[in-house]
Structure 1
Amino acid sequence: MIKLAKPYIPERAYDLVKKVLESGNLIQGQYVTEFEQLVQTYLSVPYAKMVTSGTAALHLAMLALDIQQGDEVIVPAFTYPATANAVELVGAKPVMVDINFTDFCIDTSKIEAKITSKTRAIMPVHEFGQAAKMDDIIAIARKHKLKIVEDAACALGTDYEGEMAGTFGDFGCFSLHPRKAITTGEGGIVVTHDKKLARKIDLLRNHGAEKRDGKLDFCLPGLNYRMTDFQAAMGIPQLEEMEQIIDIRQQQAQEYNALLEAIDWVQTPMIFPERKHVYQTYHVLIRNRNRDELIQLLREKGVETNLGAQALHCLTFFAEKYGYQPGDFPNARDAYNQGLALPLGSHLNNGDIEKVVDLIKMIH
Structure 2
Amino acid sequence: MRLNIPTLDDAELKAVGEVLATGMLTQGAQAARLEQLMCELTGASRAAAVSSATTGLHLALVALGVGPTDEVIMPAFSFPATANVVVQQGARPVFADIDPVTFNIRPDLIEAAVTSRTKAVMPVHAFGLCAEMDAINEVAGRHGLPVIEDAACAVGGTFRGRAAGSMGTAGVFSFHPRKVITTGEGGMITTSDEALADQLNLLRAHGARRGELFMEFVEAGFNYRLSDIHAAIGVVQMGKLLAIVAERQRLAAALSSRLVDIEGVTVPSAPSHVVPTFQSYVVRLDDLIDRDGVIRSLRELDIESTLGTYGMHLQPYFQKTMGDLAADLPNATQAHHQALTLPLYPGLADGDLDQIATALRAAVAKNRRSAQPS
Bin the TM-score by the shorter chain.
Answer: over 0.9
Structure 1 runs of 4+ with >4 Å offset = none
- The offset of 1:136, in angstroms, is 0.5
1:308 aligns with 308
Aligned partners of 2:107 and 2:147: how far apart in 1?
A: 13
Deviates more, 1:57-66 or 1:260-269: 260-269
Question: What does residue range 43-192 of structure 1 map to in structure 2 within 5 Å?
Answer: 43-192=42-191
For residues 204-227 of structure 1, the C-alpha deviation after alignment (integer angstroms, 9 at most, x for no partner) is 110011123554211101000110
Residue aligned with 2:284, SS:
strand
TM-aligned CA distance change 1:173 to 1:224, over 3 Å = same
The 8 Å contact of residues 5 and 347 in structure 1, kept in 2 or not, is answered as: no
In 1, Cα distance between equivalents of 2:325 and 2:163 = 36
In 1, the alpha carbon distance for the partners of 2:83 and 2:299 equals: 31
In 1, distance between residues paired with 2:144 and 2:32? Answer: 33
Q: For each residue in 1:7-40, what CA deviation from the matched residue of structure 2 results, as whole angstroms up to 9, or x when unmatched? A: 1113211101011112211100111111111111
Q: Deviations over 1:42-83 (max 9, x none)?
A: 111110110000000000000000100011110100000011
Aligned-pair distance for 1:271? 2.4
The amino acid across from 2:173 in the alignment is F
2: distance between equivalents of 1:191 and 1:325? 33
Contact 2:129 2:270 in 1 (8 A): no
The 2-side partners of 1:271 and 1:187 are apart by 27
CA shift, 1:328, in A, is 2.2
State the partner residue of 1:324: 324
1-side partners of 2:100 and 2:275: how far apart? 18
Q: Percent identity?
A: 40
> Who is 1:350 aligned against?
350
Which residues in structure 2 correspond to 1:224-263 (within 5 Å)?
A: 224-263=223-262
3-state DSSP of counterpart to 1:111: helix
TM-score by length of 1: 0.98
Contact between 1:121 and 1:148, CA under 8 Å: does it hold in 2? yes
Greater displacement, 324-333 / 72-81: 324-333
Indicate the SS of the match to 2:347: coil
Deviation at 1:302, TM superposition (A): 0.7
User: Deviations 1:94-148 (Å, cap 9, x if unpaired)?
Assistant: 0010000121000112111111000111100000000100010010011111110
Q: 1:340 matched to which residue of 2?
A: 340
SS of the residue 1:78 aligns to: coil
Please state whether the residue corresponding to 2:124 is helix, strand or coil: coil
Equivalent residue letter for 2:298: L
The unaligned stretches of length 5 or more in structure 2 are 366-374
Tell me if structure 2 keeps the 8 A contact 1:314–1:326: yes
Q: Does 1:8 align with 2:17?
A: no
- Number of aligned residues: 363
Matched position secondary structure for 1:48: strand
Gaps of 5+ in 1: none
CA deviation profile, 1:283-315 (whole Å, cap 9, x unmatched): 001112111111111111110001111001100
In 2, Cα distance between the equivalents of 1:198 and 1:130?
A: 25
Contact 2:51 2:226 in 1 (8 A): yes
Normalised by the length of structure 2, the TM-score is 0.95
SS, match of residue 173 in structure 2: strand
User: Aligned partner of 2:320: which letter?
Assistant: E
Secondary structure of the structure 1 residue equivalent to 2:306: coil
